[in-house]
Structure 1
Amino acid sequence: MKMYFRLLSYVRSSWGYLMLSVLGYVIYAAMEPALAALLKHIVDVVSLGTISDSRMLIPLAILGVFIARGIGTFLGNYFMAKVANNVVFDLRTSMFNKLVLLPSDYYHSIPTGRLLAKLTYDTEQVIGSITQAVRVLLREGLTVVGLLGYMIYMNWRLSLLFLLVVPLIGLIVAYASKRFRKLSTRIQNAMGGVTDVASEAIKGHEVVKIFGGKDYEVERFRKAANENRRSQLKMEMTRSLNVPIVQFILAVMMSILIWFALSPSISSHMTPGDFIAFLTAAGMLGKPIRQLTEVNSILQKGIAASYSIFDFIDLKEEVDDGKVESQQLKGCIEWKNMSFKYKGADKHALNNINLSLPAGKTLALVGRSGSGKSTMANLLPRFYDIEQGQLCIDEVSVKDYKLADLRANIALVNQQVVLFNGTIRDNIAYGVLKDTSEETVIDAAKAANAWDFIQELDHGLDTMVGENGVLLSGGQRQRIAIARAILKNAPILILDEATSALDTESERAIQSALDGLMANRTTIAIAHRLSTIENADIIAVVDHGEIIEQGSHSELLAKNGAYAQLHNQQFSDVTA
Structure 2
Amino acid sequence: MKKKFQLKNRHKVLISMIKENKFRLFLATCCMITVAGTQALAAYLIEPALDDIFVNKDTVMLTWIPLAILIVFFLRGLGMYGQSYFMSYVGEGIIRQLRDMLYKRITDLPLSFFYQEKTGVLMSRLTNDVNIIKNMVSNAVTGAMHDFFKILFLTVTIFYLIWKLALIAFFILPIAFYPIVVFGRRVRRVSTGWQEAMAELNSFLHETFAGNKIVKAFGMETYEKERFYSKSRNLFQLEMKSVVAKALSSPVMEIFGGLGIAFVIWFGGTQVIDGHLTVGKFIAFLAAVLMLYEPVKQLSKLNNVLQEGLAATDRVFDIIERESDIREIENPREIETRPHQVTLKDVYFRYEDEMVLKNINIDVQPGEVLALAGMSGGGKSSLVNLIPRFYDVARGAILIDGIDIRELSISSLRKQIAIVTQEPILFNESIRNNIAYGNPDASDAEVEAAAKA
Superposed CA offset, 1:229-284 (max 9, x none):
21111111111110110121122122333444345599865433222211221122
Q: Distance in 2 between matches of 1:230 and 1:83?
A: 35
From 432, 435, 441, give the equivalent of 1:435: 441
One-letter amino acid matched to 1:107: F
The aligned amino acid for 2:320 is I
Where does residue 143 of structure 1 map in the other structure? 150
Q: Which residue number in structure 1 is paired with residue 4 of structure 2?
A: none
The reply to whether residue 247 of structure 1 matches residue 246 of structure 2 is: no
**Structure 1 equivalent of residue 345 of structure 2:** 336
Alpha-carbon contact 2:272-2:282 (below 8 Å) kept:
no
Equivalent in the alignment of 1:551: none
CA distance in 2, matches of 1:348, 1:334: 20
Instruction: Report the 3-state secondary structure (helix = DSSP H, G, I; strand = E; otherwise coil) of the residue aligned with 1:65.
Output: helix
> SS where residue 392 of structure 2 aligns?
coil
Bigger fraction of residues in helix: 2
What CA deviation, in whole Å up to 9, does each residue of 1:9-49 have, x standing for no partner?
42333333322222222111112211111101112214652
Q: Which residue of 2 is the match for residue 130 of structure 1? A: 137
Q: Which residue of 1 aligns with 2:332?
A: 324
| SS state at 1:113 partner | helix
1:192 partnered with 2:199? yes
Q: Please say if 1:61 is aligned against 2:68.
A: yes
Label 1:221 to 1:9 Cα distance change in 2 as closer, same or farther (>3 A): farther
- Specify the code of the residue in structure 2 equivalent to 1:314: E
* Cα distance between partner residues in 2 of 1:267 and 1:162: 20
After superposition, the C-alpha distances for 1:132-178 in whole angstroms (9 at most, x for unaligned) are: 11232122221111111111122322222222223222321211121
CA distance in 2, matches of 1:233, 1:61: 48
For 1:84-140, what per-residue CA distance to the aligned partner results, in whole angstroms no more than 9, with x for missing partners?
221221111111111111011110011110110000000000111011112321222
2:134 matches 1:114: no
Q: 1:324 to 1:285 in 2, by over 3 A?
A: closer
Q: Is 2:345–2:362's contact at 8 Å kept on the other side of the alignment?
A: yes
SS in 1 for 2:178: helix
Q: Of 299, 302, 313, which residue of structure 2 is paired with 1:295?
A: 302
2:346 match: secondary structure: strand
Verify: 1:228 aligned to 2:235, yes or no.
yes
Shift of residue 330, structure 1, vs aligned partner: 5.0
Which residue number in structure 1 is paired with residue 386 of structure 2? 379
For 1:445-464, list aligned pairs within 5 A: 445-446=451-452, 448=453
Q: Aligned equivalents of 2:130 and 2:104: distance in 1?
A: 15
Code of the residue aligned with 2:310 in structure 1: it is I
Contact residue 335 and residue 408 of structure 2 kept, 8 A: no
Identity of aligned residues (%): 32
* SS of aligned partner of 1:348: strand
**d(CA) in 2 for partners of 1:192, 1:267:** 64
User: Given the alignment, which residue of 274, 283, 287 partners 1:276?
Assistant: 283
| Other-structure match for 1:444 | 450
Aligned CA-pair RMSD: 2.1
Checking the alignment, whether the CA contact within 8 Å between 1:247 and 1:286 is kept in structure 2 is no
Q: Judging changes above 3 Å, is the alpha-carbon distance between structure 1 residues 9 and 306 closer, same or farther for their aligned structure 2 residues?
A: farther
Q: Deviations over 1:510-568 (max 9, x none)?
A: xxxxxxxxxxxxxxxxxxxxxxxxxxxxxxxxxxxxxxxxxxxxxxxxxxxxxxxxxxx
Contact 2:272 2:278 in 1 (8 A): no
Cα displacement (A) at 1:67: 1.7
Residue identity opposite 1:56 in structure 2: T
Q: Give the letter for the 1:335 counterpart.
A: L
Q: Distance in 1 between matches of 2:219 and 2:175?
A: 58
Greater mean deviation of Cα atoms: 247-256 or 422-431: 247-256
Instruction: Provide the C-alpha distance between the structure 1 equivalents of 2:195 and 2:341, rounded to a whole number of angstroms.
Output: 49
1:90 equivalenced with 2:89 (yes/no): no
Alpha-carbon spacing, 1:53–1:323, altered in 2? closer, same or farther (3 Å): closer
In structure 2, what is the Cα distance between the partners aligned to 1:203 and 1:367?
Answer: 27
How far apart, in 1, do the equivalents of 2:85 and 2:217 lie? 52
SS in 1 for 2:134: helix
**Alpha-carbon spacing, 1:25–1:54, altered in 2? closer, same or farther (3 Å):** same
State yes or no: 1:180 paired with 2:187: yes
| Superposed displacement of residue 394, structure 1 | 1.3
Say whether the 8 Å CA contact 2:161–2:285 is kept in structure 1.
yes
**More relative contact order, 1 or 2 (CA 8 Å, 6+ apart):** 2
CA distance in structure 1 between the aligned counterparts of 2:371 and 2:334, rounded to whole angstroms: 26
SS in 2 for 1:56: helix
In the other structure, the counterpart of 1:415 is 422
Q: Distance in 1 between matches of 2:263 and 2:128?
A: 45
Q: Quick one: structure 1 residues 267 and 136, their matched pair in 2 at CA, closer, same or farther if it must change by over 3 Å? A: farther
| 2:447 aligned partner, one-letter code | V
CA contact (8 A) 1:330 1:394 kept: no
Size of the aligned set, in residue pairs, is 444
Paired residues of 1:33 and 1:281 also in contact (CA < 8 A) = yes
What is the CA-CA distance between 1:187 and the residue it aligns to? Answer: 1.1
Letter in 2 for 1:334: T
Q: Deviations for 1:418-444, whole angstroms, at most 9, x for unmatched residues?
A: 33121221111113x111111121122
1:197-254 deviation line (CA, Å, top 9, x unaligned): 2111221222223322222222222222222221111111111110110121122122
Q: Which residue of 2 aligns with 1:44?
A: 51
Matched, 1:31 2:38: yes
Change (3 A) 1:322 1:362: farther
User: Which blocks of at least 5 consecutive residues in structure 2 are unaligned?
Assistant: 1-6
- Aligned residue number for residue 546 of structure 1: none
1:547 maps to none
Rounded to whole Å, the distance in 1 between the matches of 2:284 and 2:11 is 37
Counterpart-to-counterpart distance in 2, 1:200 and 1:207: 10
1:242 partner letter: S
Structure 1 residues 423 and 48, CA gap change in structure 2 (3 angstroms): closer
For 1:103 and 1:435, locate their aligned partners in 2 and report how far apart those are by CA, in whole Å: 26
Task: Quote how far apart the aligned CAs of 1:355 are.
Answer: 2.0
The amino acid of 1:117's aligned partner reads S
Report the CA distance shift for 1:375/1:331 in structure 2 as closer, same or farther (over 3 A).
same
Moved more, 367-376 or 157-166: 157-166
For residue 285 of structure 1, give the secondary structure of its aligned residue in structure 2.
Answer: helix
Of 123, 145, 168, the match for 2:175: 168
